[in-house]
Every structure is written in C-alpha cells, then in structure tokens.
Chain A
C-alpha cells in the first residue's frame, strides 16, 4: 500500500541497495590446521624426512626448516613463514587442538598394561 501511495504521489519507488558481502577472510584456524592439508599431511610427509646426522647439523636444520616452510606455504600461502608459525602456535592453546595433540602423542606411546 505504501508503494501504491508513493506511485499515486508520483514519487519514484525506493530502490534497495544491496552490497555484495565482502568475501570472508581466510584464516589459519584450528579447522584448517586439522583438515587434510593440515597437520595430518605434515605427519605423513614427516616419514620421508631424512637427516644426515653428525657433522651435518646445519644442513639438516635447513632441510627441517624448509620442510615446515613448504608445508605452511601450501596450507596458508598468504602469511610469511614466521608469522604463520606464530599463528599456528597460538592455535595450539585451543581445546580442540589440545585434545588432538594428546591423541597424536598417545599414538606414539608404547602400549602399557594400564588403560
């Protein structure tokens, strides 16, 4: 009825301006970390990690760091290595992450008689 009266008065009808919502920002949260490309992939890839040992400490370390860097670049390409590390570390305090971490650790533990 409002539109009708507006037409009767010769006023243009109100045009609704809808703005397209901004694309949500990609975040490095616990869901991303626990997804297929997250820590599960890191654990899988870690099996191929080989070190040369004594006398090659620095080259081993650089290989280790590259390993993490490439993984993080795949998981969350927009942040720099150290920034991304800080974000991941922060996520580690979340409940969900902590229980997942406990599980991974318990998987590695030798099975004792006590349950």
Chain B
C-alpha cells in the first residue's frame, strides 16, 4: 500500500477499499454519528461477493486481509448494527442491511483452518495476520460500547425463528444457522497457542465471552434452540453442540458449583494450600541445599570395587551416600532420543483448564442448570440420532464434542445433586419428592451404549486418541451416574441402574476393550492418560461393588420385579415367559446366593485382565506426574497398585527397578510428595509394604535380582510370586 511491494494484488485492494469507503462513515457534520452511504446495501452485497467469488473460489485470503486492514468490522459493520434501534425492527431496509452485515461477519470470523492440505502460499502469508485480526473482531464485538451486538444479531434472525418448522423456508433455516455460526465463531476465537496476544487478554477471555453471552441474551437463544430441537429446529443441532463445546471445554465443574461464599473461602484455602505446597517444596530443597558458599570446593570420592574411584564435587556427597549417587547421576550429559507426546493443542483440545471470574462462574452455572433442566435430553438425543444415521451435517469432530459434552454435563448433574443433598437430609422427614434421573435419561439408554461402544472401537482402531479420550470420559461419567442411580431412593431408578449394570457386567467385549486401552498407552499425552486411568479405575471399582452386592439386596430386587409382574398380570398384560412370578421366597434366597457366588468368580476373572505389565506401566507413567496430580488422581493410582499387589496378589508385577525407584522417590524425595498432604500417609504405608515384600522376595528367590530389570511375562511372574508353575490346560 505504501509504495512497497504489496502482499495483495493492488487492484483487488483498490476495489475493496473503495467499497469500504462507499459504505458510509462518520464525520464532524453529523456529530460523529455514523451515516450510511447512499448505496450501502449494494456495497455490503458487493463485499460479500468479493469474499465469495475471489477468496473462496480461488482459495486465497486476499480480500479478508484487505478488510482486516481497512477495519471494516470495528469501523463500519458494528456501527451499522448499533444504529439499528429496537423499535425499528419493522423497517425493511434497515433489517436487510443488518442481515447483510451479519452475512459479512460470519465469513470474517470463520475459524481459519491451518492444517488442511490445500494451504497455499497466500494462506501462509495471511493466516497469522488474520488470526490476530480475528481476536480484534471478537474484542470489539463482545465489548462494543454503543449497543449489544450479539443481541442485535439475534434480532436479525427472530422473524425466521418465529416461523414453524414446517413452514420454514430454506432461507429461514439458513438465517438461523448464520446466526448460530456467528455465535459459534465468537465462542471459538481464542489466541492461538504459542502466540502472545498484545491487547488485554481479559477482554477476549472465556469469562468475557460468558459475561457477554449472558448480558446479550445468547444463553436464552441457546436454551430455546436446544430445548425445542426436533420440534422447531432440526439441522441446527450440531452448531449448538459446537457452541456449547467452545463455551465449556476445560471448565472445572467442582469450582463451578461452589457457592459464592464457599468460593471465597476456597480461594483463600487455595492460596493457603498453594503457599503450603510451595513451603514444602522449599523445605525439601533446603534440606538438600549446600550450607556453605558455592566455591567452597568440597570433593569426595566413592570407593568402588577393583580399587576404582569416582569423584564427586560438592558437599552433598560427603554427608550422605544416596545424595552422592544422585549427584553422580545428575552430572551425566547423555540423553536418549525421546519421542514427543501426541497431544492436541488446537481449538478442539479440551484438556487445558480454564479459569473463570466470579461473575462468569455465576452466569455459566445458571445457564448449565437451566440447560440440564430443559435442553439436555432433547439436544443430545437428537444429535445421537444424527450421528447414528451418519447425517451429512455431522462432521468428523462432532462425535468428540458430543461425548465430551455428555461427560461434562453428566458430571455437572452429579455435582449439582451432591450439593443439593445436605438440605434434603434436614427435610427428609417431610419426604419431599426426590428428583429422578430422568433429566439425563436420554444418554442412559441402550442406543447410547451402542453408539458409544461403536465409537470407542472405531477410534481405538483408527488411533484417533483425542476422540477416544472423549468417549472414555463419557463412558466413565455414565458409569458413575448409573452407580449414583443405584443408590437413589426411587425404585424405578434403582431398577434401571441394576439392569444397566447387569448388562455391563456380563459384556466381555467391553471388558476386553477397557483392559486393552489401558494396556496399550504410549505417548498419547497426559489428557488421554488421565481419561484411560480414570475409566479403568471406576470400571473396576463399580463392577467390584456390583459383584459384592449382597444376597439381601438381590432378594429385594427379585421381590420387586415379582410385584411388578403381578401387577402387570392383574392389569391383564400376560407375559408368556415370566417364570419369576411363581417362585417363593426361599427359592429367591438360594438363587440369589448362587448368582452372588457366580459374580464373585466372574469379577475375579475380569480383574485379572488388568494384571498385565502394560496396565501396570500405564499407571506407573501416570503416577510419575505425582507432583502435579490432584489427590483424587493419586488415590486412583494407589488403589490400582494396591489391587495388583495385595488383592490380586501379584506384587511381582511391581518389582521392577524403575517402579521401585519411583515409589521410593515419591515418599523419600528429593522432590517427593508433601508429607503434610492427605495422600502422603497412604502412599507411605503402601510403599513400605511393597518394599518389605520386595526385599523378602529377593532373599527368597535370587532370580528376582535379574528379573527386576525386566518386564515379566505372566508365567514368569506367576512362578516368582508363588514358586510353582501355573497349571495351564493345553488343548491340541
């Protein structure tokens, strides 16, 4: 533009900027008001044509770049939208102009695809600039002073939304989609990873987005669309899914549901906790820090066999041999090549935690509760059908969002119930109506299990790890919800839960899948590791509880079924094969005893699948992050190792030098667990037990000294553990 060689064809730039100029402007004559140009609508339409016929057709981003440089959004479009007063909604020309603005805003804020194979030189030239420009768009749209831009955008679509679905024209449908895509784009725009945004991040943060959505009635829009999906709307479901995903990904549910006072307290607690953690860290450093200045120059040597010596500098070695060894190790320079983790940092990543302001937390919580009450079932049911049917609008990334959102909302529902409970207990005498789980029932039916199982199989086979991670999260939350349901005071809930658990318990393919996923972890990143350890932990735990379910409970459930059947029979619906009705109480008990015995055996067989070295290694990799893990995560690892070593009596699987070294370090440091933390005690106890067993085993079976270096295959492990070969039946 300034005489230097331009990155954009000068002719294109000339055309586009003349259009932007002709659109209108503000001047001193009009008190700084924005005045539309004579042919503003035609200008807007021309600009749209430029975007479509030049940028899109020729696969360039030149026009978008020119528009970003000429400040079309902040200088013109938003001004025009702001000048469309509420009472002028009937003005045909003005609403047409507003709609034309929206039609420009959507392509301009559209997410830039950086990974496509169709990227040209132009893309590489423009994308970094446009990414920053989009941040600017978002900032001016959600923080616009003069008017509520998002609200105005919704007004553009209101006439179309008011039409019944049957009567909606393609144009109406398109306009609603346009609006939803606009909202999606705004929710999605975020600073790209590794780019430092120069402006105030608070203006475009998630908190700012949520506050704007609340203030500008976007939440109402989302609730309306999602609660009446299938009735008034149809194809818009995936866009709503997209919006919800970008709104809530990474939000911590526990924090969301703390009430304000508790939140204040927890903030203080958080500060205290962090200070304590820091103090513990410093303490452990100080016990190892040199007590004299750094040029004091102590030198120690370590007498090795064959009159060999190793010298170690610094006073650490002089005081403590293990610290001397650590120092000796630390001075080595060689590093074996290591593969990078395959995480995902793009916009579809959901593992990065997000912090919300107090205001935003309040707004989002209100929205989430309303969504659970009205929108959850219709929306997710509708989308599940679309996914099953492989509808054209369902894109590759939608299943991931679908499963992630279900897991998120199910957890939110569980936390909400848990928080409600204390007040319930006080009023229990009144026995108020207890909420059933029907609010989330749409994801607990058999069809959902089919979809989920298929997705887990497919993603596992195709190595799309992030998708699998989302599906695993979903499965975990379904399991936990079902488990909560089985403890519900409502009989119907109990019965449904029991049916589901019963089905899962005998589904060998699912057992195999969960065990396989856990066994084969390799470099998929921490988020995936977290999901798969969480799934296997809860899966084992819930099935174990189910297998232990006492006889009494089963008798009761049989009695319940019988009562139901009797009632059904009385009502005249005769089922041909209900043998249960004619049994007596005594038969019930013996039958129940038999099943409970059977289940115990089944469970043992199932749990044995997790004894492989692969599963142990996965949990070892997980617990190696011990200093960054929450106490619930540490507990998860603890329970697993405890199960392997003591419940299943295969502690040999843990006797490998690196595992022992890790356990030792966790408790004894340096950089171990904080001795004042809640997890420290159980780990200390556990590690001590393991070490005791390990040293005893070495004395008992000297072969273990060598085997401690290696992963053991099952037969070796069995021999080392029990001292005899496992009897295996071989059939020829």
| Residues of A that sit less than 8 Å from B by CB | 39, 42-43, 46-47, 49, 51, 53-54, 57-58, 60-62, 64-66, 68-70, 73-74, 77-83, 85-89, 92-93, 97, 101, 104-105, 107-109
Closest to B332 in A: A80
Cβ of B325 under 8 Å from chain A: yes
Known: A42-B706, A66-B321. 7 other contacts (CB 8 A): A60-B695, A66-B322, A85-B661, A89-B711, A97-B710, A101-B716, A108-B703
The dominant DSSP class at the A interface is helix
Cβ contact of B709, chosen from A65, A69, A88, cutoff 8 A? A88
Cβ of B60 under 8 Å from chain A: no
Contacts of B661 in A (CB 8 A): 65, 81-82, 85
Q: For the complex, what is the distance from the CA of A62 to the CA of B656, rounded to whole Å?
A: 14
Contacts of A47 in B (CB 8 A): 702
Whether A83 contacts B698 by the Cβ 8 Å rule is no
Contacts of A49 in B (CB 8 A): 698, 705
Contacts of A81 in B (CB 8 A): 329, 661
Interface size on B, residues (CB 8 A): 43
Closest to A45 in B: B305
- Supposing A61-B695, A83-B334 touch, asked if A104 and B660 sit within 8 A by C-beta, the answer is no
- Supposing A58-B688, A61-B664 touch, asked if A69 and B710 sit within 8 A by C-beta, the answer is no
Return A7 CB to nearest CB of chain B, in Å: 50
Whether B657 contacts A85 by the Cβ 8 Å rule is yes
State the 5 A-B residue pairs at the shortest beta-carbon distance, nearest first.
Answer: A92-B710, A46-B705, A57-B691, A108-B703, A78-B334
Which residues B651-692 have CB closer than 8 A to chain A?
A: 656-658, 660-661, 664, 667-668, 687-688, 691-692
Return B668 CB to nearest CB of chain A, in Å: 6
Cβ contact of B716, chosen from A46, A87, A105, cutoff 8 A? A105
Cβ of B336 under 8 Å from chain A: yes
A-B pairs under 8 A by CB, number: 115
A-B contacts, 28 listed (Cβ < 8 Å) = A39-B709, A46-B698, A46-B702, A47-B702, A51-B695, A53-B692, A58-B664, A58-B667, A58-B691, A60-B695, A64-B694, A64-B695, A65-B660, A65-B661, A69-B329, A79-B336, A80-B329, A81-B329, A85-B658, A85-B661, A85-B709, A92-B709, A92-B711, A97-B710, A105-B703, A105-B707, A107-B703, A108-B702
Whether A78 contacts B691 by the Cβ 8 Å rule is no
Whether B695 contacts A89 by the Cβ 8 Å rule is no
Which residues B458-515 have CB closer than 8 A to chain A?
A: none
Cβ of B304 under 8 Å from chain A: yes
Produce 1/0 per residue, B303-316, CB < 8 A to A.
01000001000000
Cβ of B455 under 8 Å from chain A: no
Q: For the complex, what is the distance from the CA of A78 to the CA of B710, rounded to whole Å?
A: 20
Q: For the complex, what is the distance from the CA of A71 to the CA of B51, rounded to whole Å?
A: 69
Q: For the complex, what is the distance from the CA of A59 to the CA of B490, rounded to whole Å?
A: 55
- Supposing A57-B691, A58-B691, A80-B334 touch, asked if A65 and B657 sit within 8 A by C-beta, the answer is yes
Cβ of B281 under 8 Å from chain A: no
